[in-house]
Amino acid sequence: DVKVTQSSRYLVKRTGEKVFLECVQDMDHENMFWYRQDPGLGLRLIYFSYDVKMKEKGDIPEGYSVSREKKERFSLILESASTNQTSMYLCASSLSGSGEGSYNEQFFGPGTRLTVL
Amino acid sequence: AQSVTQLDSQVPVFEEAPVELRCNYSSSVSVYLFWYVQYPNQGLQLLLKYLSGSTLVKGINGFEAEFNKSQTSFHLRKPSVHISDTAEYFCAVSEIEYGNKLVFGAGTILRVKS
């Protein structure tokens, strides 16, 4: 079974702190994703990575950065946490496509609920 | 750009009754369509997907969905729900050219009552 793990289920931080959310997958997937989930808004893509050291902005990258130094690990960084970043953060991974029109299922981690006070 | 509208934020239903969760999408290009389920305190799990072929798609746990291109809809149905189906359900779309990038709807909370 594919397993995507996230370093914390619950996290409480203070405004201005630097926050690291870690995600690890064990299936040698090329693609990894960070989403933010808010009630009434669904999931919104923050960043994704299609290879080591490669990243692309998603729909809401402002206030976030990412790091992918190893294939299995994808980190989301909040350089200076703010209260409006209180949310549920979900990581996902998938194989890369084999060409235009290809599809590979995204597998999700359990999420990290971040509260910024 | 694509967008997804889930028409109901919450759907209460009694156990063993049928249910339909509605999803409409907007896109100028051909798309793949998905339904994901999120049980309390868990991540998302793929329920079913439409990539091509038959417009009626069957998924896990007795759910099915029908792709209607003319109405740009992908409604999720189950003929008889169980208490264990209580969860949040997300409809998602991706452009065929970018099969790995998903756009999600806002979610529908299904509450099954005994």
Express each pLDDT in B78-104 by its tens digit.
999 999 999 999 999 988 776 678 999
What CATH number does residue A59 fall under? 2.60.40.10
Q: Do B43 and A109 touch (CB under 8 A)?
A: yes
CA distance A107 to A4: 7
Percent pLDDT > 90 in chain B is 78
Closest CA in chain B for residue A50: B100
Is position A74 within any domain?
yes
Q: Do A42 and B105 touch (CB under 8 A)?
A: yes
Please report, as a single letter, which amino acid is at residue B18. Answer: P
Q: Are B39 and B85 in contact (CB under 8 A)?
A: no
How many C-beta atoms surround the C-beta of residue A31 within 10 A?
Answer: 21
Which CA distances in Å does A62 have to A19, A33, B95?
Answer: 15, 15, 24
Average pLDDT, integer, range B69-74: 94
What CATH number does residue B80 fall under? 2.60.40.10
Q: Does the beta carbon of A32 lie under 8 angstroms from any beta carbon of chain B?
A: no
Domain count along chain A? 1
Q: Are B6 and B72 in contact (CB under 8 A)?
A: no
The pLDDT, as a whole number, for residue B98 is 67
Q: Does the beta carbon of B100 lie under 8 angstroms from any beta carbon of chain A?
A: yes
Residue A34 tokens read as: 């960070």
How would you classify the pairing of strands A10-13 and A112-116? parallel
Domain count along chain B? 1
Average pLDDT, integer, range B40-64: 92
The pLDDT, as a whole number, for residue B99 is 61
Picking from A54, A55, A103, A113 by the largest number of B CB atoms within 10 A of its own CB, the best residue to mutate is A103
Q: Do B90 and A42 touch (CB under 8 A)?
A: yes
Boundaries of domain holding A25 = 4-95+108-116
The pLDDT, as a whole number, for residue B29 is 85
CA distance B106 to A5: 24
Q: Do B100 and A101 touch (CB under 8 A)?
A: no
Q: Does the beta carbon of B10 lie under 8 angstroms from any beta carbon of chain A?
A: no
Is position A101 within any domain?
no
Is position A86 within any domain?
yes
Size of interface A-B (CB pairs under 8 A): 61
β-strand partners of A67: A75
Boundaries of domain holding B102 = 3-113
CA distance A110 to B43: 4
Please report, as a single letter, which amino acid is at residue A56. Answer: E
Give the per-residue SS3 of A12-41.
Answer: EECCCCCEEEEEEECCCCCEEEEEEEECCC
Is position A11 within any domain?
yes
Nearest-Cα distance to chain B for A36, in Å, is 11
The pLDDT, as a whole number, for residue A99 is 59
Is position A66 within any domain?
yes
Q: List chain A residues with pLDDT less than 50.
A: none
Query: Look-up: residue for tokens 């960084």?
Result: A77
Nearest-Cα distance to chain B for A108, in Å, is 6
